Amino acid sequence: MFTPKGIIVPIITPMNDDESFNEAQFRIEINRLIEGGVSGIFALGTNGEVYALSEEEKLRVIKVAVDEVKGRVPVYAGTGCIGTKETVEMSKKAEDLGVDALSVVSPYFVSVSQDDLYRHFSAVAKSVKLPILLYNMPARTGNNINYTTVRKLVAENPNIVGAKDSSGNFDNTLRYIEDTGGQVSVLAGNDSLILWTLLAGGTGAISGWSNVFPKLICSIYDYWAKGDFEAANKAQRAIRPFRDVMALGNPNSIVKRSLNLLGHKVGPAREPASGIDPKIDAALKAAFEGYSE
């Protein structure tokens, strides 16, 4: 059975100055992150600016990711769309391109009930053979996937193998862990909760900051796996200065801006969320003074 675990990086999508996809830099980032110890490459997440990419661009990003990773770690692809039909079609295309697993965010913009979410995710799960991660991010989608819905989906769809909880509500994460009877891998979607999710029975994290400091973020998991909780907690606390800066703007734009300031030529975030702000730059540089890789 496919088990999502460890630190999975929701890889950024590098852009040229004209905001076109920078394939060469994407390949460089993939190799840098794998060398940094990540357990998976997740293309087309929030940090990948999936919301700003056309379908053609999404499919190109997936194709390049699969080609460059070359089976060294699992490749996850974000295929969630607003409509069920569109999500099913994108999921099938990602499966055909050879990804190892799918991450499916709940529908966004439209207000839906838990019954609606159940039908949506069930339809997607039945349309593909790939393992599926449910992606809960209510602050962006407006829709929280209730733990009772997760429990029902997991019980009826064996290829739903995990859930990423980016709600920021740790009790929600706990209910995912407690109410699925160990049948599902629960991953932290909030970098501040990586260690605490692991200690509660989770299996890892999908960490935005692992784009920037993969060795540091991976060390939280590695120390935890070795039973060195003091070192794991020290590594967890070390990311607080970076997390604090994210309150100043669009979080994933700030992650991308961090990479540029550290010399990784990943280009701008797509407008209207470029992330370029003197106050943010100053705050990031101050945070970087305490850590480097």
- Sign of the torsion formed by the C-alpha atoms of 217, 23, 73 and 32: negative
d(CA 247, CA 209): 14
Would you mind telling me the total number of residues written for the chain in this entry?
A: 293
Non-local (6+) Cβ contacts of 227 within 8 A are: none
Non-local (6+) Cβ contacts of 138 within 8 A are: 106, 144, 167
**Is the Cβ–Cβ distance between 207 and 7 less than 8 Å?**
yes
Asked if 164 is an active-site residue, the reply is yes
> What is the 8-class DSSP label of residue 164?
E
Annotated catalytic residue within 76, 164, 176, 256: 164
Q: How many CB atoms neighbour CB 31 within 10 A?
A: 12
Annotated catalytic residue within 118, 135, 176, 223: 135
Among all residues, which ones are annotated catalytic? 135, 164
